[in-house]
Chains A and B, each alone.
Chain A
C-alpha cells in the first residue's frame, strides 16, 4: 500500500513537470511559429505609448531574449531554490517554492495563489458536500420509488440542473435573492472562515447551492441507475430474506455497490473544481483561483498561468489518488 502511494506521488510530480513544459511551450513556441519576436511578446506588457527602447528593456528584464530552455530552467530553479527579482529600489528574494513574478504587475505569484486557494476550497468543498448528499439521496429515493412522481420530478430536475448554464442560474440567483428580495448578500461578498464562520457560510450559501444544482443532477442520475442495477441483484434478495431492515439493505448493500462509479466521477469533478471553479467565481465575483486563472490568461501573464495550471494538475492528480485509495475501502474486491 505504501509503495503504491509513493509510486503514485512520483507519477504526480512527473505529471506536473509535463504540464509545466506544455504550458511553457504553448506560451513561447506557438507565437514564435506565428512569427512573434521577443519585442512583440514584450509589447503586451507595456503602456500604450512605449518606445522601441522601452519594449526592448522590458523584453530584456522579462528574459525573453534567453532561449526558451534557459527561461524554463530559470523558472524551474525558482521552484526549488527560490529566485531574486529586481524591484527597482531593492532586490527582493522570492523563497522556494517560487512560482515567479507576474509579467504585468510584478507581484509574486505564490502568495497570491496561497491567498486565493481557500476561497476556491471553500466554494468547492461546500458545494461538494451539498451535491453529494443531495444528489445521492435523491438518486436513492428515485431508484426506490421508480416510476413515481418523485422519480419523474427528480429526473426532470436533474435534466434542468444539467442544462441550465451556471452563468445564467448564478446571475438569476443573484438578481432574485440578492438584489430583488435582499435575502442573500450581493456578489463579491466573501469572508474567510477563520474570521467569521457564520458570515462565511451565509455569503457562500448562494454560490454553493447554484454550483451544487449543476452537479447534484448528474449524481442523482448516476446513483439512480447504479441503484437500479444493484437493487436487482440476488444478494439484495438474500439480505432481505435474512431479515435485515430495509434501511440497511438499501444503504449497506445496495448503495455501496453503486458507489464505485460515483466515486470515480466525484474524484474527477472535485479535482477539476478545486483547480478553479471559473464560471461560478466569475459570476459571484469570488476572489478564488478560477477568477485568477481567467485574468492571467487574458493578460497573457505566463507566470500566473503556469502557477494555476500546475496547481490544478496537482489537485486533479491527488484527488484521483485519493479516489483510487477509497476504492479499496468501498469495494472489498479491490483490496489485494
Chain B
C-alpha cells in the first residue's frame, strides 16, 4: 500500500514536471512563431545598409564597385521558362541572361534608366547599315572573336544561328520574326532538313566578318531584331539541335560548366573571351549559379535573407513578400519598383453581339471604374499606374491621351455611359459574358470590378473563369470559341518583345496576325490600322516612326475594342550583397551582365 502510494506520488510528481516542461516548450515555440513576423534588417550589413533606399537601383547604379570575384546566385520558381539555347527562347529574362554566355549582333546598352533603351553594337562593330530603303541590312563583326573552344567566330556562324532558329519543328519556342521577315528560298525548312539549300537570298556572308540580311519587305527597326539572341553565333559542327541547350557553346564571358536540367545551372569564366573585344561587359563574378524549381515564396525569402542574389525571372515578388516588404521600412529600402513595358487590359470583342455596335462598346469604356481595375492588380505600387493608352509610357512613341475620360476620380462617367447605351439602342443595358484566367486572382478581381461597376448602368456581366494554361490556345484566344460562347470580354495583357512600337503593337493590333487559335489579338480587326502598322515599319526616320506608333495606339483605342487597364509595375527585391545593381529599362528588371557578386 505504502509502496503504491509513494509510487503514485512519484508518478504524479513526474507528470507535473513533465507538464511544466511541456508547457515551457509550448511557450517558447509560440513566442518564436510570433516574432517570426519581424525579419529585422534583412541585410547582412555589408557596408551598404545605409545607402539602401526604395528605388535606389531604378535610375542609378546601386553599390557601385569594380571588384571581381565571388559567385552571383540566381534562383527561379519553376523550371527555366523555355530554354537557354539562344535560338530557342522567348522570355525577356532569358534574353537578358543569355548575354552572359552569348553575344548577339547588337544589344541594349548596359546602363540604368532611359540610357538602356539604346542599342549598341555587341558582336558587330556598329549598328546595322540599311540599304535598299530598309530591305537590306549589313553588319560587320569584330575581329579576334572566339568560341569557348578556341575556334574563331565568323559570319558563317551568325548565319547558321539564324538559319537553325527557323526550324520550328526542332526549336519550337523562340520568336518567329526571322522566319517571317527574311527572304528565304521557297519551301526552305532550315539547315537540318534542307542542309544543301543556298540561303543567300535571305542571309549573305560576303566575307568572314560581314553578314548581310535581305528582307521580304522594308523594316526600319531591324536593329531590334539583331539584338535577339537568335543572332548569337552557333558553331555548326557543335550544334546538336534540340539538345544544344545542354551545352551551349559560349561566345560570351561565361560558359556552362554544369547543366543539370530542372535543378541547376553553373557558369564559369570563359577563358577565350577577352575584354579587349567586348567594351560592354564588366564580367565581374567568377561564377554564376542558377537554382531551378524553387518554391516561389522561398525565392523571395532567400533574397531577403541574403542566401540568393536575384530572382532571375525579374517579374517581381510574390503577393506574400510584397505585403511584407511594403509594410516594413527596413525591407522596403531593399526593393525597386520599375514600370514594365506591359499593359494589363481587357479585350472587347466586336464579334459578339451587341458589341458589334461601337456605342455599346463605348458604354463599357465609360462605365468601368478605373480605380477598381488598379486595385484588383494590387494598387499603385504592386499593381501599376492607371492606363488610358495601350502603349506603356516607357515605349518610345507613347502619347498621353484619354479618349474616354472616366471622371475626375476615375471611377467612370456614368452619364456618358448611359448616353452611349441609348445611342446603341440598348438604353436599359445588355448582357454578355466576361472570361478571365482562373488561376490569377488579380484577373478574377478585375472581372469582378468590371461586373460591379458596369451593373451601375445596366450592363450585366456573367463571369466565366477559364484555365490559364489553355486560355490562348483553347478559349479566349480562339475567335470561334468567343463567338460561339457569347464571351464579349476577355482579360488580357501584353508585354513588348522589345521596347519599341512594333514590338508592342504588331502582335496585338495587326489583324493579319489573327489565326485559328493562340491569339493575343482577340478584338482588333481594323484595316486602317494594318496599313498604319506597315507604314510605320517602313519609316526609316526614327522620330517620325515613333510618332506613328502613338497614332496607331489612339486609332485602336478610339474603336473601343480594348480597355486599357494599368501599366504594370513590378516590385523587385534587391540583392543584399551584389554590386552594380540597377534596373535596365530595356528588360525592366536588373541588368544581369552588369552585376558583380560582392562580398
Residues of chain A within 8 A (CB-CB) of B82 are 47, 104-105
Q: List B contacts of A49 (CB < 8 A).
A: 175-177, 497, 507, 513
Q: Which of chain A's residues 36-95 have a Cβ closer than 8 Å to chain B?
A: 36-37, 39-41, 43-55, 57-58, 60-61, 86-90, 92
Are A52 and B169 CB-contacts (below 8 A) given A282-B295, A299-B469?
no
> Which residues in B have their C-beta under 8 angstroms from that of A41?
473
Check A88 against B241 for contact (C-beta < 8 Å). yes
- Nearest residue in B to A43 (C-beta to C-beta)? B518
Binary contact readout B287-309 vs A (1 if CB under 8 angstroms, 0 otherwise): 00001111101100110110110
**A50 near B518: Cβ-Cβ < 8 Å:** yes
> How many angstroms from the CA of A233 to the CA of B441 in the assembled complex?
56
CA distance A148 to B16 in the complex (A): 11
Distance in Å: Cβ of A22 to nearest Cβ of chain B: 19
Q: What A residues does B297 contact at CB under 8 A?
A: 171
Query: Given the complex of chains A and B, what is the CA–CA distance between A105 and B245 in angstroms?
Result: 10
- Docked CA distance A292–B293 (Å): 9
What residues of A have a CB within 8 angstroms of the CB of B538 in the complex? none
A229 at the interface (CB under 8 A from B): no
> Would B33 and A172 count as touching, CB distance under 8 A?
yes
Q: Does A107 contact B (CB under 8 A)?
A: yes
Q: Are the C-beta atoms of A37 and B516 separated by less than 8 Å?
A: yes
Question: Which stretch, A130-138, A179-187, A252-260, A265-273, touches the partner chain B?
Answer: A179-187
**Count of interface residues, chain A, beta-carbon cutoff 8 Å:** 63
List residues of chain B with CB within 8 A of the CB of A112. 261-262
Residues in B whose Cβ lies below 8 Å from that of A35: 480-481, 484
Q: Does A315 interact with chain B (Cβ within 8 Å)?
A: no
Residue A149 at the B interface, CB < 8 A?
yes
A287-B168 in contact given A40-B473, A40-B518, A87-B242 (Cβ < 8 Å): no
> Of the candidates A45, A53, A90, A282, which one forms a contact with B240 in the assembled complex, judged by CB atoms under 8 Å apart?
A90
Interface centre among A88, A171, A285 (most CB of B within 10 A): A88
CA distance A39 to B242 in the complex (A): 21
Chain B, residues 525-563, CB within 8 Å of chain A (1/0): the string is: 000000000000000000000000000000000000000
Given A40-B516, A58-B169, A188-B291, do A47 and B302 touch, yes or no (CB 8 Å)?
Answer: no
Q: Any chain A CB within 8 A of the CB of B323?
A: no
Asked whether A107 and B261 contact (CB < 8 A) given A47-B90, A180-B39, the answer is: yes
Q: Which residue of B lies closest to A186 (CB)?
A: B307
Q: Digit string of B327-367 for contact with A (CB within 8 Å is 1, else 0)?
A: 00000000000000000000000000000000000000000
In the complex, the answer to whether B243 meets A287 with C-beta atoms within 8 Å is no
Report yes or no: A31 in contact with B474, Cβ–Cβ below 8 A: yes
Residue of B at shortest CB range from A92?
Answer: B243
Q: Which of B36, B179, B518 contacts A55 (CB 8 A)?
A: B518
Tell whether, in the assembled complex, residue B298 and residue A48 are in contact, meaning their CB atoms are under 8 Å apart: no
> Is B192 engaged at the interface, CB distance under 8 Å to the other chain?
yes
Q: In the complex, what residues of B have CB within 8 A of residue A298's CB?
A: 78, 469
Given A49-B175, A300-B469, also A86-B170 (CB < 8 A): yes
User: Which single member of A40, A175, A179, A285 contacts B293 (CB below 8 Å)?
Assistant: A285
How far does the alpha carbon of A226 sit from the alpha carbon of B168 in the complex, in Å? 62
Chain B residues positioned under 8 Å from A50 (CB to CB): 168, 176, 518
**A150 within 8 A of partner (CB):** yes
* Residue A328 is within 8 A (CB to CB) of chain B in the complex: no
Task: Provide the bound-state CA to CA distance between A105 and B470, in Å.
Answer: 18
Contact A175:B301 (CB < 8 A) given known A87-B243, A149-B18: yes
Indicate whether A174 reaches chain B with its CB closer than 8 angstroms.
Answer: yes
Are A287 and B262 in contact, CB atoms less than 8 angstroms apart? Answer: yes
- What is the CA–CA distance of A43 and B477 in the complex, to the nearest angstrom? 10
Q: Per-position contact with B for A296-308: 1 when CB-CB < 8 Å, else 0?
A: 0011100000000
CB distance from B542 to the nearest CB of A (A): 23
Q: Which of these, A39, A44, A284, contacts B295 with CB under 8 Å?
A: A284
Interface of B is mostly: loop
Q: Is the CB of B298 within 8 A of A188?
A: yes
User: Is B83 in the interface zone, CB < 8 Å from A?
Assistant: yes
Q: Decide: A188 and B32 in contact? CB cutoff 8 A.
A: no
A188 to B299, CA, bound (A): 10
CB distance from A176 to the nearest CB of B (A): 5
A283 within 8 A of B: yes
B430 CB–A CB distance under 8 Å: no
Given A48-B90, A149-B18, A172-B33, verify A292-B262 contact (CB < 8 Å): yes
A320 at the binding interface (Cβ < 8 Å): no
Which B residues are CB-close (under 8 A) to A55?
515, 517-518
Q: Which residues of B contact A58 (CB under 8 A)?
A: 168-169, 172
A171: nearest residue on chain B (CB-CB)? B297
| Interface residue ranges of B262-297 to A (CB < 8 Å) | 262-263, 291-295, 297
A-B contact count (CB 8 A): 190
A187 touches B169 (CB 8 A): no
**Binary flags per residue of B30-45, CB closer than 8 Å to A gives 1, else 0:** 0011011001000000
> In the complex, are the beta carbons of A300 and B470 less than 8 A apart?
yes
Contact of B294 among A47, A180, A285 (CB under 8 A): A285
Tell me the bound Cα distance from A183 to B27 in angstroms.
20
| Assembled-state Cα–Cα distance A283/B513 (Å) | 40
Most A Cβ at <10 Å: residue of B15, B169, B484: B169
Q: Answer yes or no: B180 CB below 8 A from chain A CBs.
A: yes
Assembly CA distance A285 to B307 (angstroms): 14
| Cα(A298)–Cα(B190), bound, Å | 30
A89/B240 in contact, CB under 8 A: yes
Chain A hits for B122, CB < 8 A: none
Smallest beta-carbon distance A95→chain B, Å: 16
State in angstroms the CA–CA spacing of A187 and B35 once bound together. 21
**Closest chain A CB from B321 CB (angstroms):** 11
Residue from A39, A54, A61, A178 with most neighbouring chain B CB atoms (10 Å):
A54
A34 to B177, CA, bound (A): 32
Contacts of A186 in B (CB 8 A): 298, 301-302, 305, 307-308
Known contacts A51-B180, A176-B36, A188-B75; is A57 also within 8 Å of B169 by CB? yes
A315 to chain B, nearest CB (A): 20
Q: Taking the complex as formed, is B164 at the interface, i.e. its CB lies under 8 A from any CB of chain A?
A: yes
Q: Which of B148-173 contact A (CB under 8 A)?
A: 164, 167-173
Contact of A43 among B15, B173, B190, B517 (CB under 8 A): B517
Contact with B along A140-169 (1 / 0, CB 8 A): 000000001110010000000000000000
What chain B residues lie within 8 Å of A116 (beta carbons)?
Answer: 262
The yes or no answer to A106 lying at the interface (CB within 8 A) is yes
B36 lies within 8 A of A175 (CB) = yes
- State the CA gap A175–B321 with chains docked (Å): 12
Q: CA–CA, A105 to B517, complex, Å?
A: 21
Rounded to whole angstroms, the CA-CA distance of A89 and B174 in the bound complex is 17
Q: How far is the CB of A44 from chain B (nearest CB, A)?
A: 5
Name B458-484 residues within 8 Å CB distance of A: 469-470, 472-474, 477-478, 480-481, 484
Evaluate contact between A44 and B302: CB separation under 8 angstroms.
Answer: no
Contact B177 A87 (CB under 8 A): no
Say yes or no: B473 contacts A44, CB within 8 Å.
Answer: yes
Complex Cα distance, B170 from A292, in Å, reads: 23
Q: Mark B234-275, 1 if CB is under 8 A from A, else 0.
A: 000001111110000000000000000111000000000000
Q: Is the CB of B295 within 8 A of A285?
A: yes
Known: A34-B474, A47-B172. A39 touches B469 (CB 8 A): no
Decide: A89 and B32 in contact? CB cutoff 8 A.
no
List, in ascending order, chain B residues with CB within 8 A of A291's CB: 293
A287 to chain B: closest residue by CB: B263
Q: With a CB–CB cut-off of 8 A, which chain A residues contact B198?
A: none
Q: A31-B470, A180-B35 are in contact. List 10 more A-B contacts (CB 8 A).
A: A48-B507, A50-B518, A51-B176, A58-B168, A88-B242, A89-B243, A153-B22, A176-B36, A186-B301, A188-B294
The 4 closest A-B pairs by CB, nearest first: A88-B241, A43-B518, A88-B170, A40-B517
| 27 sample A-B contacts, Cβ–Cβ < 8 Å, listed by A number | A35-B484, A40-B517, A40-B518, A46-B518, A47-B176, A49-B513, A52-B515, A53-B168, A55-B517, A58-B168, A61-B169, A86-B241, A88-B241, A88-B242, A89-B243, A105-B83, A116-B262, A150-B18, A176-B36, A178-B305, A186-B302, A188-B295, A285-B298, A287-B263, A287-B292, A291-B293, A298-B78
